[in-house]
Amino acid sequence: MCFSAEASFGAGAVLLGIGIISLVKAKSIPYKVLACIPLLFSIQQFDEGIIWLSFADAAFSRWQPYAIFIFLLFAQVIWPVFLPFSILQIETSPYRKRLLRIILGAGVLLAAYLLYSMFAYDITASVAGQHIRYDFSYPYTQKWYSGLLYLLPTVLAPLASTHWKIRVIGALILLTYLISRLFFGEYLISVWCYFATIISVVVLLVVIESDNRAGAEAR
């Protein structure tokens, strides 16, 4: 989270609870995959808590490079792949499945490039204005279309779903991106990842709805 170590660890704990409930409620493998989203967000928030501590406590400073790498690994590599992959698992429409596979392929290509860049270029973080700013000098980040390339797998994938609650997730991700870009541009990654954790609540609702539907069919 973008405000303090306490806020990050608090968010991580709440997301962990949501994730556990989601996993328990999910009765099928596809929905268990989807239920992992809150757990992954939880790990990411706990990790950013460690980054906060690394700035304030010398005992944690040696862990800072690793924690920064892990945070960006989630933000730039895991989410562009796992989000469309998890949505694809629960999709039932053959046409939407084909579309989601194309989007997933684009996400894999983007994630592969970003993973390469994480090793090839310097990545650092700093604290300013109660936010964490992540700095990296990947070539593509200088282009105007860089944000659009990231939005393709993270926003278009949920919007392509036949499940209306999943489409709500896409709308929330887009809305939180625009808010983060407009008002917290320098701290986009940290702030957007914080706002995007809201989708974990929607994921829980989707899983509960699926559980209720499965229970009704069983009766």
Q: What is the CATH number of the domain that holds 84?
A: 1.20.1070
State the pLDDT at residue 217: 61
State the pLDDT at residue 25: 95
Specify the 3-state DSSP secondary structure of 172: helix
Q: 80 and 158 in contact (C-beta within 8 Å)?
A: no
Count Cβ atoms below 10 Å from residue 137 Cβ, excluding itself.
12
Pick the closest to residue 155 from 72, 87, 63 (CA basis).
87
State the pLDDT at residue 96: 98
174 burial class (0-12, 13-18, 19+ CB within 10 angstroms)? middle
Structural domain count of the chain: 1
pLDDT 10s digits, 11-29: 899 999 999 999 999 999 9
Regions in the chain scoring below 50 on pLDDT:
1
Cα gap 67→156, rounded to integer Å: 29
Cα gap 192→71, rounded to integer Å: 13
State the pLDDT at residue 160: 97
150 burial class (0-12, 13-18, 19+ CB within 10 angstroms)? buried
State the pLDDT at residue 7: 84
What domain range is 27 assigned to?
Answer: 5-218
